[in-house]
Structure 1
Amino acid sequence: MGVVIIDGSTVRAFVDDEAQFNKCVDEVFAALDLNGDGVLSRAELRKGFETIRLIETHFGVDVATPPEQLSQLYDSIFEKFDLDQSGTIDLEEYRLEMKKIMLAIADGLGSSPIQMALEDNRDNFLQKAADLEASKIASS
């Protein structure tokens, strides 16, 4: 687990750096695309969200959520990502929705820096944002 200081401008700068942001999103998309067909199925997206356990924990404590409620939530997330309602999520749809999510996080964080403890995970977008800012500071 690592600790970073982050604010909305850090996250926004990461999203604005299109090359870095797309590289990160593409890597996560490829990891989620278990069968390598270039699109995400409901099962693949759900497995990805289950892996990061955003829904089944509350401040790191396991929460018992009824399976039917989880299914409804995952279906709702899938439908939000599936912009063309094709039944799959392509890379561009995934990028667009991840960009919206990250910008919403940036707006939520605002300009006041906060300290965050992040799990060590190579696919963590907030960690990537903090790393990008740190590399810019180090090179200036």
Structure 2
Amino acid sequence: MTQHDTAEAAREFLERTGLEPTLNRILVLSAVAAGQRPMTAAEVHARILREHRINRVTVYRILDLLAEKGAVNRFSTNERVQHYCVGSNHSHFHCTGCGRVQCIANEKLHFDETAVANALNLAVSHVDLHLEGLCPACARAAG
């Protein structure tokens, strides 16, 4: 997907959710969507600064708004750092060695909302699983 396609998809999403598609909102949502892994607000800010001046506090406020509207997923690690990503039906793994965070498809873990709902006899609409441990590189280094 090109940068233009990502920006256009961000603009369309903002319009569908009733948010004004301002340039800053489009840039923030596009930056998160283009990320190869969950990003911190500081990383989003740095990515946007490569091409556009934007205030750090503005990035935080927009990320909060996008999380409230369901445009981005927001979760924190044990370091109390918020991470943001897009997409649904996935969980997150945080390496306690190097700090890297990655998305993991729930299908890979063999569960989804329906499976969890059936197992627990509950009406589950969303599953948010946070995994912690060591990535392969950190596990090898730990010996």
TM-score norm. by structure 1 comes to 0.28
Structure with bigger gyration radius: 2
Higher helix share: 1
